[in-house]
Every structure is written in structure tokens, then in C-alpha cells.
Structure 1
Amino acid sequence: MGLGPSIKMTTLHHFRCPVTAVLSREENLEFPGIIVDGVSEVCDDKIYTAKRVADIAEAMRADAAIVAIDGWGNHHVDFINVIEQLGLRGIPSVGLSYVGLQGRLVCSNSYVDCVVDFNKSESGYESCVVGQNNLTDMDAVKAVALLKNKLKKAGKAVTSEDFGENRTLRRLTRKAFQINEVRFGERTAISRGGILTIRKGIEKSIAAAEPRIQDIKVNIVQPGEHDFFVNSNLDYAPIACKVRGELGEGVTYLLSGVTVMLTGVEENSGFQPSNIGSSEGILKEHVVLDEAGTPGSTDILLHVDILFQEGEGRTAEGIMAGHRSADLIVQEIRKEMQSLDNLPYIREEYRDVAKPGKRKVILVKIVSGLGNMYDTAMFPYEPGGFLGAHNMMTSGNIPYVITPNQCRDGAIHSLL
């Protein structure tokens, strides 16, 4: 028991995190930050990290928390422990989890009194369709509404009363450049009219440098042309780069209308990398489009397909090699993005705001942390990237604290 294709939170899902978006829109709540907690394998470690999450929440002076997880079964032990430790410190919480029929809680305690089930399947069971049981904006809205009610019952009612002037702590500017066409050419470039050209053979030197990878194929998939076989999904990710500042502040450029799709398979055996269910098959039958963690129905897909050496699709090193290879391909695009300011774009502003006197609500993200195809990497060099990131497992799953803007600026990369 762990995590299947339909509920996994891809890199794109964290980049567009519905809970972060909903909490940031709440005028009468302060959203000071996010605690990212990795799922541990050993029970003692699960308890240890849960206590550290609660310590951090208390230090942040959190009035309440939303606790979200994308796994089930054994992973619910981490989920339950975090909710309990928060409760012991007087911090009420609302959980967000896939439950359905298959993912019912394997344990509980008196503090687990409100969990929003984001199962969308009529059968109540996990599926091999990426995005089918994703946490959505509506799930996040429900969780926030329920949490407000819990705060009211605890004598900490949310109020619109003005206690002082709000203060902007960090500002993130995102400029989105629309891509209308992706094609292969002699060199990687982005030109007027929203044309992204990918250098032919961009993957060859990358594959040759990775001993755990036999081959890499790069394809361009047009919107609606999804009636073909794909190997198991390893990730969906944005194409974005920092132009100024660190993750969570400054200026980020984003290509809209195009999404990276990473898939993979082992040679010889044909093993499809996965945790508890692979998603290979006809693409249109194995993804729900227009979800937070999946491409839009009008998106062009930059499809990077990894052929792993036999056995390497089952190792942490092999999976990381696949993600590293995809990011190196995207890195060549990012270099061209640095000079895009002369092209039309849509500007978006995001602010982390301190709100004097308002109830502080934090988000706890319980993420993959067991290695192989079930891990998470934090703080890559580039938004949504992998290069330079630190894995939760090798970090001992000690919780990270990130700002809302760091989350929406791609500080979390899923190795799923």
C-alpha cells in the first residue's frame, strides 16, 4: 500500500497547489507557510518527524492546519501521527486524503475528526489513470471552510475585523509566455508567434552520459493527439526559469501551452516503474486532463521517454537519472527563455503577506520520502526542476518549511 497513478501529486500539482491557492485568497486568514514532511518507513521515524512538524507549527504560532497527503495505507500512519501531534499542542486540523473504499484509514486517534476524502472514482478504488483522484480546488475550498468551523468551535473565530495594516513579506512576479507551436530544428530557440524549437538530437549526449539509461526519446505531442501508447508516467512538470531572485521571490518566466511529460520503462523485461500501479497504455485513457497535476487539454506535450537499463527502473538512482535527464533537456530551453522580455506575456503577482491579528493557518504537505519511485526532491535550481535538489529520503525526511510563494515557484519536485 502506498501511492498509485490516480492520486499522485506530480511536480505540476505542487506548482499549482490548490490548497496554497485557496489559502492565499483568504482575506481573513494569514497563511504563514507550508511544512513539507516526508513519509518514513520505520514507525519510530514516523513519530519523530510528526513531532518535529508539530514543533515547527507551534513555533510558527499556527492557530490551525490543513494536512494533505497523496498516499494511503502505511502512509496514513504518518498522516494520523501528524494530526495527533498537532492536536496535542492545541492546533486543530482538517485532513485531505484519498480514502474511498480502498484507502480507508489503517489507524486513527481522537484528533482525527475531520478528513476530506478526495476520491473521485465511482468504484472507490485507486486506478491507473493519472489525475483521476487528484486533490482539486473544490477539495481545498471544503477543507478551508471546515477548518474555519473548527476554529469557531474552539473559540478562535475567523473575523474580518481590521487589526492593523497588512505587510508584504515576499513578492513573486510570474511572466507567462504563450507557446503556440513546438517543433524540432537545428537549435533550441523561442521565436515570435510563440514558436518553441527543440534541437534535434538534444537527448543523445544526455543518454550517453547516464550509465543507468539505455536510451531517451523526445517527442512532440499535439493537443488531442493522445491515441497512442505511452509507458508509465513518471511526472508532469512545467517549463519555467528564474530570471531574478531565489525560488519564491523575484521574477520567474513560464511557458504556458506546453507541459513536460516524463515516462519510462525498463529494457528487456518491460518493467514499468511505479509504486502500487503503473499507468502505461493509450495516453487518452490513462490521464485526466485539466487537473492541477496534469496538462491542459490544449497543451502541447514535450514527451521525454526513458528506456532504463534492466533493473534501473526499480532503483532510486535510476529514477533520479530519468528526472535529471529530462531536466537537462528543459535546461537548454530555459537558457533561451532568459531573453524573452521582448515577447508578449501575461503578468501575475503573488505575495506572501503578514496580517496582524488574523488567525494563522498553515499547510502540512506529507510527501513521498521512501526512495525509488516514491520520493520528493526539494529546492532545485530552477522552478519545478530537479538539478540541484535535495531528496527527502537522503535528508532523513526531516520537515522543510517553505513559503507559499516557494511552493508556487516550484520548490517541490516529485520523483514519482
Structure 2
Amino acid sequence: MFKISMANAKSVTVEMPEKYMEAIERLKKREKEIKKENLKVLPREEVIRELKIREFLVKDVKISDNTKICNNTLFIDSSLTRESLKINQLVKKVTFDVIYPENRDIYTNTIMDIIPIMAKVDGKIGEGITHILDGVVVFLTGTDEEGKQIAEFGSSHGILKDKVAFNMPGTPKTKDIILRIDVVIEKGTGMERRGPLAAHQVADFILDRIREELKKLAPEEAVKTHIFKDVRRKGMPKVLIVKELGGQGAMHEKIIMPSEPGGVRGGKSIIDLGNVPIILTPNEVKDGGIHSVT
């Protein structure tokens, strides 16, 4: 350490040992290193896959003599109720009707599923392009031949408006139109795996006819387009979300990775897979890769 005091100086020369100069240079260098270490380096992102979901608005649903989507209206061929009887020998009767928001004060059988109408236009579940209808949702309900509720768990049969918490995650919006598919299956099979599965196969068959039309809609007709990316950030912590799926029988079964979002065909039962851990990407889950068939 040294101290200099001056008054009215015209010229000053300061000399110090070389070791002090070296210490000052080291201090300056260390200060630069500290600043560099404190800089936030953004991780390099690598997009693994991309999912694009296009929404198409439906303002009305009508039962007709053919299936098509035209002028924001979904038309459904009434003959599908007869054709769907061929899907599974356990199915004895199939009906469907349209329930408007103002008409929900009606009786319903067990609500086995609430299914969005979605279709893969390009790619497989979790990537590519998916089309979805906004403003309409499918309810799958049913009984067996003796009138016993299918896979009844939680007493979901009753007055519709009292059995569904509308406008909540996983449920229809208050203004959605409901296409209700009601299935009657062979007596005594409602609490077995094969009974509820048969009902879901019927719904999937009917929805496949709608999906064929949904895939034809032009991108410019979409009211919204969402893009989801599966991103890998090198150097950052890996995050794994654990979701427990029920796989115990007729009332607790899940279909994993069906051919169509929220479908049955092409998927694997979590029970048949042995209830083992399965890894899905975030976009596979967003795209309907897990279908509860309770």
C-alpha cells in the first residue's frame, strides 16, 4: 500500500515495484472473468417434433342421409346406427341424437366418455397436423339389454345438466352442442372389459366417418391454429411428469396411442400391456394419445 498527497503540482511521476503492476493486471483479469461467469447463457434449443392443431367451428349438428361438414354445420348419416351393429356382436342397438345447450334438462344413461372430434391429417399421434371440431362434442352412453348401466362408476346416469360440470377442464363448454351416441350391449357384459370396449368401438366407427370429412377441410377455413413443439434444451434439467393410469378392468381401462386422437382402433390397452410404465411425449398426450374407455 502506498499513499500520495499533492497540492498545486504541475507534473507528477509515480513509480512502483513491478509486482504491484502485475497484481493490478491480475485483478482486472479476474474482474472480467467474474462478469463473464455471471452472464446468463441461453441453452441451445433443438426442436424434436412439431404438432399443429387446426380448429374448425361448428354452429349446428343435423342428422341427415349423408355425413359431411358444410357451412359450419356437421351432418351425420342416420344409417350409421345400423352399420355400426356389425362392429361387434355384443352390440344390440345403437342410436344417436343431438342435444343443444338449452335442452340439457333430459335423462341420460351412464356417460362412459366425452370425446372430442379430432382427426390426423398428416403424421401420427403427437406430431404432424390434426384437425378438431370446435363447438361440438360426443357423449358415449349406454346400458345392457336388461337396462343395467354400462360400467357404472359414480352414478353418472340421471339428468344431464346435473351430471356434468360444464366449462371445466375435460368437459364441454356451456355452449357446445352434444352428439350423444347411446349403445345397448348384450346383457351381463356391462361390467366386463369386452362390453364397454364394444360400445367404444361403435363410437369410433361413427367418428371415423366424421373424421374422413374433417380431414378434407381447407386450412384457411380454420378459426384457430395452434403449434406445439417438443423441444430439447441441452444443459438444462430433464423434466418427467408421472401420470398414474387405471388399468384394473371394465371401469378402469385406457387405450394408449390409437390411430386417431381419442380413438380406439390401432391402440393398445394399458391392461394388455401389463400396466407397465410407458413414456409419452407432451405432444402425444396433447394429441389424444391416452384414451380413457371407462
Map 1:338-353 onto structure 2 (within 5 A): 338-341=215-218, 343-353=221-231
Structure-1 residue corresponding to 2:50? 171
Distance 1:376 1:191 in 2: 33
Shift of 1:169: 1.2
Structure-2 residue corresponding to 1:144? none
> Given that residues 232 and 278 in structure 1 are in contact (C-alpha distance below 8 angstroms), is that contact kept between their aligned partners in structure 2?
yes
Distance 1:230 1:356 in 2: 51
Matched, 1:186 2:74: no
Aligned partner (choices 385, 401, 404) of residue 279 of structure 2:
401
Higher relative contact order (CA 8 A, sep 6+): 1
Distance 2:161 2:85 in 1: 28
Structure-1 residue corresponding to 2:197? 320
Bigger radius of gyration: 2
Distance 1:248 1:281 in 2: 36
**Deviation string, structure 1 residues 35-56 (Cα, Å, up to 9, x no partner):** xxxxxxxxxxxxxxxxxxxxxx
Distance 1:262 1:276 in 2: 14
Aligned partner (choices 170, 173, 179) of residue 302 of structure 1:
179
Shift of 1:185: 1.2
Distance 2:152 2:162 in 1: 19
Distance 1:319 1:344 in 2: 34
Shift of 1:237: 1.1
Shift of 1:359: 2.6
Structure 1: segments with no counterpart, 5+ residues: 1-159
Structural RMSD (CA): 1.5
> Given that residues 153 and 251 in structure 2 are in contact (C-alpha distance below 8 angstroms), is that contact kept between their aligned partners in structure 1?
no
2:265 is aligned with what amino acid? L
1:174 is aligned with what amino acid? I
Distance 2:222 2:88 in 1: 37
**Deviation string, structure 1 residues 140-161 (Cα, Å, up to 9, x no partner):** xxxxxxxxxxxxxxxxxxxx94
> Given that residues 273 and 373 in structure 1 are in contact (C-alpha distance below 8 angstroms), is that contact kept between their aligned partners in structure 2?
no
Structure-2 residue corresponding to 1:290? 167
**Deviation string, structure 1 residues 230-270 (Cα, Å, up to 9, x no partner):** 001100111011111111111001111111111111222x2
Structure-1 residue corresponding to 2:73? 195
Matched, 1:265 2:170: no
Q: Which aligned runs of 4 or more in structure 1 are off by greater than 6 angstroms?
A: none
Matched, 1:356 2:226: no
Distance 1:163 1:174 in 2: 28
Distance 1:275 1:401 in 2: 30
**Deviation string, structure 1 residues 159-191 (Cα, Å, up to 9, x no partner):** x94342222111100100000110011110001
1:257 is aligned with what amino acid? G
Distance 2:155 2:212 in 1: 33
> Given that residues 229 and 283 in structure 1 are in contact (C-alpha distance below 8 angstroms), is that contact kept between their aligned partners in structure 2?
yes
Distance 2:179 2:212 in 1: 17
1:383 is aligned with what amino acid? P
Structure 1 residues 175 and 344, CA, compared in 2 at 3 Å: closer, same or farther? closer
**Deviation string, structure 1 residues 28-78 (Cα, Å, up to 9, x no partner):** xxxxxxxxxxxxxxxxxxxxxxxxxxxxxxxxxxxxxxxxxxxxxxxxxxx
Q: Which moved more, 1:406-415 or 1:164-173?
A: 164-173
Aligned partner (choices 277, 281, 286) of residue 158 of structure 2:
281
Structure 2: segments with no counterpart, 5+ residues: 1-38
Structure-1 residue corresponding to 2:21? none
Structure-2 residue corresponding to 1:337? 214
> Given that residues 175 and 254 in structure 1 are in contact (C-alpha distance below 8 angstroms), is that contact kept between their aligned partners in structure 2?
yes
Distance 1:411 1:357 in 2: 28
Shift of 1:373: 2.3
Matched, 1:239 2:117: yes
Distance 1:318 1:274 in 2: 8
Structure-2 residue corresponding to 1:378? 256
1:348 is aligned with what amino acid? H
TM-score of the pair, normalised by structure 1: 0.59
TM-score of the pair, normalised by structure 2: 0.83
State the identity as a percent: 33
Distance 1:191 1:403 in 2: 34
2:241 is aligned with what amino acid? L
> Given that residues 150 and 195 in structure 2 are in contact (C-alpha distance below 8 angstroms), is that contact kept between their aligned partners in structure 1?
no
Distance 2:40 2:250 in 1: 49
Distance 2:185 2:44 in 1: 55
Shift of 1:274: 3.3
SS in 2 for 1:255: strand
SS in 1 for 2:119: strand
> Given that residues 275 and 374 in structure 1 are in contact (C-alpha distance below 8 angstroms), is that contact kept between their aligned partners in structure 2?
no
